[in-house]
Amino acid sequence: MKPTDEQAGAWTEAFESGKFVRKSSEFRDHIVKDGTFDVESGRYHLYVSHACPWAHRTLITRTLLGLENDISVDVVDWRMNRDGSWSFNDEEEGATADTINGESSLEGIYNRAFEGWNESQRIGTVPVLWDRKHSTIVNNESREIVRMFDSFAQAGMGNGTSLSPVGLREAIDAMIDANYEPVNNGVYKSGFARTQSAYDEAVTALFSRLDELEIHLEGREWLVGEGVGQLTEADICLFTTLARFDLVYVVHFKCNLRRIIDYPNLQAFVERMIEQPGVRETCHWHHIKAHYFWSHQNINTFRIIPLGPLEGAHTK
C-alpha cells in the first residue's frame, strides 16, 4: 500500500529553530487476522539495521516471542550512505544480502512498494516489514511492528508468550509515550541540535527523565506491572536506547551529564535485559558504534571511530 501524499512529502529530517524534528513513517498498514495482511507463518520478512535502535526493537521482540522460524530477516550494512540511505552487503560481518528481492539497497525495496520512490527524494528507513504475498511493505514504524508481532504469538506461533498483555496494554503504551520524546528521541535531539538552546533543552529533558526512571526502577525489575513488574514492549523500547548510551550517545551526541553505568537501577535493568534468552545475540556492538561515528560526518568530520569504552564497560 503506498503512503499518502502528506506522508510521502515528510521524507526529510527537519529543523525548527535549531531543533531536530524526526520524520514520520510512511507505511502504516497492519497485520490482522483474516485481513488483507493476515497472520501467517513464513509470509513476512523483516529488513533491519543492527545499528538502529528502532529496528533493534523488532529484532528483540521477534526473539523473545520465539518467532525466528515464522518471520525471516535481512540486515543492511552498518555504513549509512551519504544521503542517509542503506545498502546490503553480505561481505560485511553481521550484514546480509537482500535474500527476498535481490536488491542492492533498501531504496530498491521501497521502490517496489511505491513506484517512483527513487525519483522523489525520499529516503527509506529501517525497520521494514515486507509481505511476500503482495510484494509490498506492510509497515515501517517500529512500535507498530512490535505490537503486530504479538498477534503471531496469540495465533499460536512462537513460544506463546505475550509482550503486550491486554491487562497491561494501557500502562505499556503510557510508559512508551512517556519515554519517547525525552529519551528515545531525546538523544537524537541532543546530538543533532543546531543551537545551544535547542541542545540545552533536549539534554535537560533527557536526564530529567532518566532520573525519574532510576527512581521508578527502585525495587522493580521491569517498567510496568505489579510488584517487580513484567517484561513488556515498554522495556524493549527503553532498552535499545540505553544499550547505546554509554557506547555512543555520551560522546557522539554530547549526552554526558551522566552515563547509564552511573545509574545503579538503570544499569541493572540493561544487564537484566541482555541476559534474557537470545537478546545478547541481537546486540551487534561493532555495527552500533561504527555506524554512528562513521555515518554522521556532519558531527564527526574525519569519521574516527573511538576505541573505547572497553568491551563490557557499557553493558557488562
CA-closest candidate to residue 194, choices 20, 41, 64: 20
CA distance 301 to 257: 23
Q: Which of 52, 237, 255, 283 is catalytic?
A: 52
Is 188 a residue of the active site?
Answer: yes
State which amino acid sits at residue 59: L
- Extract the C-alpha cell encoding 281: 545475540
> SS3 for 72?
strand
255 assigned to active site? no
Catalytic residue among 44, 47, 110, 188: 188
- How far, in Å, CA of 286 to CA of 267, rounded? 20
C-alpha distance from residue 129 to each of 59, 73, 113, 159, 236 (Å) = 11, 9, 11, 21, 18
Strands 19-21 and 128-131, by their bridges, are unpaired
Residue numbers annotated as active site? 52, 188
